[in-house]
Amino acid sequence: KIYYDSDADLKHLKDKTIVFLGFGNQGAAQAQNLRDSGIPNDQIIIANRKDDYAADAKSKGFTVEHDFSKAAEVADVVFLLVPDQVQPRVFNESFSPKLKSSATVVVASGYNVFYKLLDFKPTLDVVMVAPRMIGSSVRSLYVKGKGFPCFVSVEQDGTGSALPIALALSRAIGATKTGAISSSVREETAMDLFAEQALWPNIIALFREAYSVLKEAGCTDEALVYEMWMSKEPAEIFQAAAEDGFIRQLKHHSIVSQYGQLSGASKIDGTPIRAHFKDILHNQVLNGKFQREFTKIEADLEKEGDANPLNRLYTLSEESELAQGEQRVRARLGLS
Ligand code: NDP
């Protein structure tokens, strides 16, 4: 089901105090959109530690509360818009114990709800309003009077009014203008983590191996880097795929290219790829294996140098022929 402005009524937000926990990418965009949709400024509180994000919120005329427990006590709605890995600690320690029993908790990603990392009293409403856009686009599209794709779901209906409240909130942030798609935290998490752990890793590996094969065949770094991505051709292909259709965009290419791509794709046996993808989806994402592993290394992500596992992965990736070749080209071109 797709929900539009006509399915949502802002009256469900009347006199509600709406707290945005976090004023980063999504928080800043969603809070401003909500206010510009007519929710009075005195109903909105930004909960943020005392720093640049808080100063930014103040400069935009918002009331800022640095004490999260105090913000929790007055919240009828709380948008959790701090990074996913931060949410369980901040919400469970400062918000959950103080929240009103009938409050609505809004997440913009399914991760913490799907993996049951947040403590919700059964009387609360728990909804997902998850824009499929970065925060700056959530704001700029709203300002242009346009909508943006967004998933919406009710995960816990403590008050019996969770859906109309979720739709009112979606409308207020500008998400029902072009249609908010009914989804669930399971679906959102499955697709998000699948893309991150199956689809894009394969694309990275395909580019890495293609680079090495062509380099070995005598192609230069400059030619390869431009041919493969710096010309922005892949970006244009995906743009055309979104506008014209995933397959139909091929019509923009030469006949030699169309024939090569379609005949090549038809000869690739999808069976091992599908088995590999299913393995990641079921044995890594849906069964929570990745989440448990990530929780174990999470604290190390704050560390410097090689003690940080993400830094080690970057170092390893930068040793690839593709990354080395790109570095040489960028240095020769004076690019950082
Ligand atoms: P950001 O990384 O932009 O969040 C920054 C905000 O979180 C700041 O207000 C920051 O304040 C606060 N914050 C960071 N660390 C802490 C901490 N330890 N304690 C308290 N506050 C903290 O987050 P996003 O907007 O990117 O993501 C928010 C949610 O939106 C997530 O659930 C994400 O999955 C979802 N989402 C994000 C999208 C995106 O484009 N980025 C797209 C769609 C959904 P300070 O550091 O000042 O305390």
Q: Which of 161, 183, 205 is a domain's end point? A: 183
Q: Give yes or no: residues 293 and 174 share one domain.
A: no
Q: What is the ipTM of this complex?
A: 0.98
- Given a contact cutoff of 8 angstroms between Cβ atoms, the answer to whether 34 and 172 are in contact is yes
Q: Which of 48, 67, 82, 189 to mutate to test the pocket of ligand 1 (most atoms within 8 A of CB)?
A: 82
Angstrom CA distances, 307 to 86, 95, 291, 313, stand at 20, 32, 20, 11
pLDDT at residue 52 in the model? 95
Q: Give yes or no: residues 275 and 236 share one domain.
A: yes
Q: Give yes or no: residues 140 and 172 share one domain.
A: yes
Q: Which of 163, 183, 203 is a domain's end point? A: 183
Q: Give yes or no: residues 199 and 173 share one domain.
A: no
Closest CA to ligand 1's atom 1:
24
The per-residue DSSP string of 15-53 comes to T--EEEE--SHHHHHHHHHHHHTT--GGGEEEE--SSHH
- Residue 146 has a CB neighbour count (10 Å cut-off) of 12
- Encode pLDDT of 143-189 as tens digits: 999 999 999 999 999 999 999 999 999 999 999 999 999 999 999 99
Nearest Cα to Cα of residue 86 among 118, 56, 54: 118
Residue 328 makes CB contacts below 8 A (sequence gap 6+) with 221
298 lines ligand 1 (CB under 6 A): no
Q: Give yes or no: residues 177 and 195 share one domain.
A: no
pTM: 0.91
Max CA-CA distance within the chain?
69
CATH number of the CATH domain containing 61:
3.40.50.720
Q: Give yes or no: residues 122 and 218 share one domain.
A: no
Closest CA to ligand 1's atom 17:
86
Q: Give yes or no: residues 197 and 229 share one domain.
A: yes
* Host domain of residue 328: 188-332
Looking at the structure of the chain, the number of domains it has is: 2
The pLDDT averaged over each successive group of 10 residues in the chain (336 residues) is: 97 97 98 98 97 97 97 98 95 96 97 97 97 96 95 98 98 96 98 97 98 98 96 96 97 97 97 98 98 94 95 97 97 91
Q: Which of 183, 210, 238 is a domain's end point? A: 183
Label residues 93-122 b or e (16+ Cβ within 10 Å = b).
ebbbeebbeebbbbbbbbbbbbbebbebbe
Q: How many angstroms separate the alpha carbon of residue 25 from the centre of ligand 1?
A: 6
Q: How many angstroms separate the alpha carbon of residue 23 from the centre of ligand 1?
A: 7
Q: Give yes or no: residues 8 and 142 share one domain.
A: yes
Q: Give yes or no: residues 10 and 131 share one domain.
A: yes
Q: Give yes or no: residues 37 and 76 share one domain.
A: yes
